[in-house]
Amino acid sequence: MNTFGNLYRLTSFGESHGAAIGGVIDGCPAGLELDISFIQKALDRRRPGQSSLTTSRQESDQVEFLSGTFEGRTTGTPLGFIIRNQNQHSDDYENLRDAYRPSHADFTYQQKYGIRDHRGGGRSSARETATRIVGGAIAQLALRELGVSIIAYTSQVGTIQLNKSYSSLDLNLVDATPVRCPDPAIARQMIELIEQVKAEGDTIGGVISCVCCGVPTGWGEPVFGKLHAALGNAMLSINAAKGFDYGLGFEGVNYKGSEVNDLFYRRDDGTLGTKTNHSGGIQGGISNGSAIYFRVAFKPIATLLQKQTTVDKNGQSIELQVKGRHDPCVLPRAVPIVEAMAAMTLLDYYLLASSQSKARSKS
């Protein structure tokens, strides 16, 4: 259950305050040029300490590959990699050894396993997602050769909302601000809100939107492996994720079929397309050639710097004052994680579809 994917698979390991985190990527196509600087850049977008909106922990998150490549290319064998942990202040967490932070995984881990590493959240820390960035970046390298691109961005922080379709945004601006919202005016408001919340020792939630262009028709399995179900599963595995929808999603329930059906037509080049894309690029669980877009809801991070009433493992009521360096808002750093999970899912489904279409053409 620490493995993600069917044919392209990431197995991840590691706790926040252990020696290292890392993973194994299995099923990566052979012969792919492993662009390390591309992968490191992706890690840098997620790493802590990159702006005033994020935790001040400084971790360089340098990835070391241990296997699976030869003379700069992937060989089809598994890619093992590690990222050493650094800059841990384990002492900051000593008062969490027996205490359960409200809305955090402390309690459920203790109940499930009878033992837990309380330092820095242990395995439940979002630090684990750095391994997904590695898996996702390599998937993106492979998808790039297939003409597929994936861009995520912050579309809501608290009640500050970006009410525009992806097609009317300049997605080159995502990284122009530290909040990763491509609309500069909205981004400013989001940044102000996060800074205000941070000053209060509080946290705030939000929404990330993502769009995947260039996916051809035919990726996705019709019943239990629907492409959007796989994407939903991937997104809901990200820390603090509370919801997922695609296409018109929850908003679309307000409409009639006649208002939102995507009518087919023939393009000038003879291919078939749809005039609108309310479906979000997927029909019956299978990609239809249009852009795939979806949203992921994130709750405010559970770890506050405010005093909270809770209990310890003996059931004693305590006042808990968390120390340490924490993010006031998960959104800015979660943008590359959403992209990574989308990339791994899409490459996995490309490989599944490949075996089928090759089989079909033969028979």
Site for a copy of itself in 233-252 (CB under 8 A): 233-234, 236-237, 242-250, 252
Q: From the list 44, 62, 192, 255, which residue makes contact with a copy of itself (rule: CB under 8 A)?
A: 255
Q: From the list 37, 163, 199, 266, which residue makes contact with a copy of itself (rule: CB under 8 A)?
A: 266
Range in contact with a copy of itself (rule: CB under 8 A) among 86-94, 163-171, 180-188, 204-212: 204-212
62 is a site residue for a copy of itself (CB under 8 A): no
Determine the straight-line distance between the first and last CA of the chain, rounded to whole angstroms. Answer: 36
Site for a copy of itself in 77-136 (CB under 8 A): 77-80, 82, 100, 102-105, 107-109, 111-117, 122-124, 128
55 is a site residue for a copy of itself (CB under 8 A): no
Residue 319 one-letter amino acid? E
Residue length of the chain: 363
Q: From the list 37, 199, 256, 319, which residue makes contact with a copy of itself (rule: CB under 8 A)?
A: 256
Q: From the list 178, 206, 324, 332, which residue makes contact with a copy of itself (rule: CB under 8 A)?
A: 206
> Between 330 and 349, how does the x/- string for binding to a copy of itself read (CB under 8 A)?
--------------------
292 is a site residue for a copy of itself (CB under 8 A): no
Residues 6+ apart with CB under 8 A from 195: 52, 53
355 is a site residue for a copy of itself (CB under 8 A): yes
Residues 6+ apart with CB under 8 A from 221: 227, 285, 286, 349, 352
Between 3 and 170, whose beta carbon lies closer to a copy of itself?
A: 3
CA pair distance 16, 221, nearest whole angstrom: 36
In whole angstroms, how far apart are CA 275 and each of 7, 53, 253, 264, 278?
34, 40, 20, 6, 10
Q: How many CB atoms lie within 10 A of CB 214?
A: 15
In whole angstroms, how far apart are CA 117 and each of 93, 129, 312?
10, 17, 15
> Between 125 and 164, how does the x/- string for binding to a copy of itself read (CB under 8 A)?
---x-------------x--xx---------x-xx-----
CB contact at 8 A, 274 and 288: yes
CB of 117 to a copy of itself, least distance (A): 4
CB contact at 8 A, 106 and 96: yes
